[in-house]
Chain A
């Protein structure tokens, strides 16, 4: 279960995508999410898919890795596809079986929408596969910095983000440990009646929450002991540098948006 979760797992490498400034990558993904909606016919979808595949290729991440990441959401895509296939009543009637009817437009719409879904996931997976969580938070903090003028606690938000990312593996490990301890006391996590299942979950969640609160307090104390007092006047060990490559990538996305805008029907 834990191993199939690839979202959020960083794969170290030295590709162009890895070397990009995290701010550029975040902006790229942000813009991409919007321009996906520009595509509405075969040509635009082909252009969009090509662009995404080129990015994947440039990241040098084994394709198997990305496919494995897509696995958990595959059924959602499938349901989306089927829903659109049966619900859209446009174009020629292709097949009729009782009340179920499949139209040409339905198939087209189904493919488009599931493709949109897949592209979304692929691009965000690509971001987390090529960017360490620390880079992502640094990038977010830097991009949101202007909001500080509006008294938005940007540094604190970024810190919260990095702390929660940091503790995901710890929590998973602890969950496994507590599940084992309770299983040794006769809890059956895989079966039983409804009330037994509720009891089993309670026996897992209560210790998990209590330990998390304890850990949060300890962490806060440890941070204070090491002189942490918020983002004011704090310097950074890792400096983000914006390179020509980053500008180029952003221009490429804008060009893509323009192409899509021209080609869409």
Chain B
């Protein structure tokens, strides 16, 4: 299910003195089965953009096409429910949406809203709990008795339980400890890989974007500044730094090393492994010259 944005514009509080244009001239294509990272400064329009993906916001101009369905401006569309089943969104601090008496009921809430029978939903809840790394006895507990990290996992399970075709993650690891971060990011990557789940990650963490995404969209001041593979995006670190964004430390390291030694490292150096590889190649070349 491809997602296409055509000339999308969004103005908050249109036709009022408080009108504010949050998004304009956005043209992007997110292919089915891809892992896309959206990065950008605070206020660059990322959140507005992601709320267009399942019709929580409608463009004030232009068109969003998700699979078969087109969302345009104008009257409220009644048929948004099927779309919301297909596109699951894990919002920032998703634990704030928990409300049921037990973890099981909360995970079942989403699927049952979309007409999944109770038994099937419960079955699903059990499977997902182990997927997000929680023990089964948690099912009968109140979500509010869990720790912050566990609540986050329950909330994520609640979204995954709807079996969406596209999953949108808005800073899914904000406020988690380093180990929890890695575990959750690895879990999403596994899902993406095994189930061909289209994944859209909104993040400030350039390391995550570089490591997992196969395509990146850089937002700046309400519009798309650049798109491309992580390799292309991080090829010019200075430009990114100039618009107030970070680059992975590995890329900075590569840049410094190149400057110091006056050589060029062919490896893209997006992950630690690639850095090691690049440096190894460099030294074997240098050694080769010496002999």
Q: Please list the residues of chain A having a beta carbon within 8 angstroms of any beta carbon in chain B.
A: 3, 174, 177-178, 180-188, 190, 202-203, 206-207, 210-211
Judging by beta carbons under 8 Å apart, are B51 and A180 in contact? Answer: yes
Can you list 13 A-B pairs, Cβ within 8 angstroms, ordered by A?
A177-B96, A178-B96, A180-B51, A181-B91, A183-B56, A184-B91, A185-B84, A185-B97, A186-B110, A186-B114, A187-B113, A202-B99, A203-B109
**CB contact list, B74-96 vs A, under 8 A:** 76, 81, 84-85, 88-89, 91, 94, 96
**CB contact list, B1-40 vs A, under 8 A:** 13, 16, 18
Q: Which chain A residues lie closer than 8 Å to B125 at the CB level?
A: none
Known: A184-B88, A184-B91. A207 touches B96 (CB 8 A): yes
Judging by beta carbons under 8 Å apart, are A185 and B158 in contact? Answer: yes
Judging by beta carbons under 8 Å apart, are B96 and A181 in contact? Answer: yes
Contact of A183 among B18, B84, B99, B109 (CB under 8 A): B84
Contact of B113 among A177, A186, A210, A211 (CB under 8 A): A186
B94-114 vs A, Cβ < 8 Å mask (1 yes, 0 no):
101111000000000110011
Contact of A185 among B18, B51, B96, B159 (CB under 8 A): B159
Identify which of A184, A203, A207, A211 gathers the most chain B CB atoms within 10 Å of its CB: A184
The answer to the question of B212 belonging to the interface, with a C-beta cut-off of 8 Å to chain A, is: no
Contact of A3 among B18, B54, B94, B99 (CB under 8 A): B18
Assembly CA distance A181 to B85 (angstroms): 13
Give the A-B pair count, Cβ closer than 8 A. 56
B150-162 vs A, Cβ < 8 Å mask (1 yes, 0 no):
0000000011001
Assembly CA distance A190 to B77 (angstroms): 12
Judging by beta carbons under 8 Å apart, are A206 and B94 in contact? Answer: no
Assembly CA distance A165 to B46 (angstroms): 30
Assembly CA distance A184 to B52 (angstroms): 11
Judging by beta carbons under 8 Å apart, are B96 and A211 in contact? Answer: yes
Judging by beta carbons under 8 Å apart, are B162 and A178 in contact? Answer: no
Known: A3-B16, A177-B96, A203-B99. A184 touches B56 (CB 8 A): yes
Known: A3-B13, A203-B109. A184 touches B96 (CB 8 A): no
Identify which of B16, B109, B113 gathers the most chain A CB atoms within 10 Å of its CB: B113
Which residue in chain B gives the minimum CB-CB distance to A188?
B81
Assembly CA distance A3 to B20 (angstroms): 13
Q: Which chain B residues lie closer than 8 Å to A177 at the CB level?
A: 91, 96
Q: Which chain A residues lie closer than 8 Å to B96 at the CB level?
A: 174, 177-178, 181, 207, 211
Min Cβ gap A67→B in Å is 14
Min Cβ gap B279→A in Å is 44
Judging by beta carbons under 8 Å apart, are A185 and B110 in contact? Answer: yes
Q: Which chain B residues lie closer than 8 Å to A181 at the CB level?
A: 89, 91, 94, 96-97
Q: Which chain B residues lie closer than 8 Å to A210 at the CB level?
A: 99, 144
Min Cβ gap A185→B in Å is 4
Assembly CA distance A206 to B144 (angstroms): 11
Assembly CA distance A197 to B18 (angstroms): 31
Q: Which chain A residues lie closer than 8 Å to B16 at the CB level?
A: 3
Known: A3-B13, A178-B97, A210-B144. A184 touches B109 (CB 8 A): no
Judging by beta carbons under 8 Å apart, are B81 and A180 in contact? Answer: no
Assembly CA distance A37 to B81 (angstroms): 53
**CB contact list, B160-175 vs A, under 8 A:** 162
Judging by beta carbons under 8 Å apart, are B89 and A184 in contact? Answer: yes
Judging by beta carbons under 8 Å apart, are B91 and A180 in contact? Answer: yes
Assembly CA distance A203 to B108 (angstroms): 13
Judging by beta carbons under 8 Å apart, are B85 and A186 in contact? Answer: yes
Judging by beta carbons under 8 Å apart, are B99 and A207 in contact? Answer: yes
Assembly CA distance A203 to B110 (angstroms): 11
Min Cβ gap B94→A in Å is 7
Min Cβ gap A217→B in Å is 14
Assembly CA distance A56 to B16 (angstroms): 23
Min Cβ gap A8→B in Å is 16
Identify which of B16, B54, B84, B88 gathers the most chain A CB atoms within 10 Å of its CB: B84
Min Cβ gap B213→A in Å is 22
Q: Which chain A residues lie closer than 8 Å to B158 at the CB level?
A: 185
Min Cβ gap B108→A in Å is 11
Assembly CA distance A227 to B158 (angstroms): 42
Assembly CA distance A185 to B94 (angstroms): 11
B136-159 vs A, Cβ < 8 Å mask (1 yes, 0 no):
000000001000000000000011
Judging by beta carbons under 8 Å apart, are B144 and A184 in contact? Answer: no
Judging by beta carbons under 8 Å apart, are B51 and A186 in contact? Answer: no
